[in-house]
């Protein structure tokens, strides 16, 4: 499959998935697909490949609990990307990104 056919297949899948889940407005207008792809790439390379889909699920779950899920998803993605970027450092592991007093 070429990149454009992969992109087309993903776009069709995301559209169908969003319709099935009642999320058409959230996915189509907000660019969250790119945010999720970037997040999962950062986690897959910085932490582990199996951690990427679990991270996406947890970020989505947490964002869905907020008043503005799309905004929360972007904010969480930024925080988790920062956490994943520093994951190779033992000092960074297990320290929440919002606890700056313990981060190096």
Do 91 and 104 meet the contact criterion of CB atoms below 8 Å apart?
yes
Would you tell me how many other CB atoms lie within 10 Å of the CB of residue 83? 22
Question: What average pLDDT does the structure give for the chain?
Answer: 84
| Model pLDDT for residues 16-26, shown as the tens digit of each residue | 988 999 988 77
What residues does each domain of the chain span?
Answer: 23-98
| Model pLDDT for residues 50-76, shown as the tens digit of each residue | 999 999 999 999 999 999 998 999 999
Predicted TM-score (pTM) of the model is: 0.76
Tokens read off for 59: 């970020």
Give the whole-angstrom CA distance, residue 89 versus residue 85.
9
């Amino acid at each position: 499959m070429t990149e454009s056919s992969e992109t087309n297949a993903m776009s069709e899948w995301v559209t169908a998935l969003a319709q099935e889940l009642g999320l058409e407005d959230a996915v189509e207008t907000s660019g969250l697909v790119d945010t999720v792809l970037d997040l999962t790439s950062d986690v897959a390379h910085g932490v582990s490949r199996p951690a990427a889909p679990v991270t996406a699920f947890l970020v989505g779950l947490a964002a869905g609990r907020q008043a503005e899920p799309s905004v929360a998803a972007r904010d969480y993605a930024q925080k988790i990307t920062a956490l994943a970027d520093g994951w190779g450092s033992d000092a960074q592991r297990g320290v929440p990104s919002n606890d700056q007093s313990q981060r190096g």
